[in-house]
A and B are shown apart, each in its own frame.
Chain A
Amino acid sequence: MPGSLAVEVYGLAKRYGATTAVHDISFTAATGRVLALLGPNGAGKTTTVETCEGYRSPDAGRVRVLGLDPVRERRLLAPRIGVMLQRGGVYPSARPLEMLRLLASFAADPLDPDELVDRLGLRESAGTPYRRLSGGQQQRLSLALALVSRPAVVFLDEPTAGLDPQARLATWDLVRELRADGVAVVLTTHAMDDAAELADDVVIIDAGRVVATGTPAELTAGPARLTFRAPPGLDVAALAAALPAGCGVAEQPAGHYAVTGAADPALVSAIAAWCADHGVLAGDLTVARRTLEDVFLELTGRELRV
């Protein structure tokens, strides 16, 4: 049943001692769709996913995966989900192909481990002990292990962290195939291009709360913005006065200028004329919709996270 709910999270809260990792998180993930949990470090992404996987009991709220309670009905649920942990999970002396065959033998109708090894570029290292694999190879094996049992729901915690560009593309292709096969994919990431490339639905969380939900198109909707770079300290009031009525100019950060107002050919021409009159060379002049990254930084702030 494509489009039916595979993951339902309502009002989830989770505390560890005095620390509250998740205050109030709600979202649903449907079969045949990719949902990205996007958030800065420490936002509560991993706690949320591990609650769905049955590793954590919610302190409040309700979590259902394939209609099952992930903690109380874990034995029924575990064979039907695929899990990629953020790190570890493999015997240090086990070889990739050996570990894949082990998890394949747990399933009635698994994917072919050899094919997965080829797809993820692990053929040369298929016989190398896990502890001697590179970080990227370990990531790819972990992804393969999440898929080999052909689960109905897949949870990927930071699936592209530490991958080179080729491995990222291979990962994206696999996730798209899962979606096409009707699998519900829930992934966590703080990489904007992961979310922009893959996600049908984005849930932005920060400090344990949902701050925005929607498709990437919905989240980035709004009028196009015009930005350009120039030497710091331009007289923005004078520039704004030379522009069509209703336009404003702001410099943030220094040397980066954003123009508010309808971006049309007349606006571009007016800015270019003003710059020419004042001997200013404007660079990187672009007219663009907001990106997911703009939305993310607006919602979660620009300060560094610890």
Chain B
Amino acid sequence: MASELRVNTLKDASGNNSVAMEYVANGSAKAWAHFENVGTPSISDSLNAASLTDTATGKCTINWTNSFNNTNFAATAHSGYIGLVFMVSSETGTRATGSFMVHSKNNGSDGDNDGDALNAILHGDLA
């Protein structure tokens, strides 16, 4: 049987560096992914990412293993290499508890473009 501790606050042995479990739970990223959307989309490393769907050129959707409690999560995304793409947030109406769409566009123009070495991170509440 797995051991379990129920505690409100963690401190170091000297009684310093206190952190309430509220901050451990709420401050931890609930999902992150390093992924590619060039050719066959793939996830190199992740937390809570189940799969990647190529939605359209410059658009891909990360599907989560454990869904979020609501769509009010905070997300940031980052592209890999200079000159290729930059990331914009998912489009209005596409936010969902079980997935997150990222959109990559050309640097210096408005065209959509697939990118590699893409990153995304989400904070919020899991269901």
- Whether A associates with B in a native complex is no
Q: B-contacting residues of A (Cβ < 8 Å)?
A: none
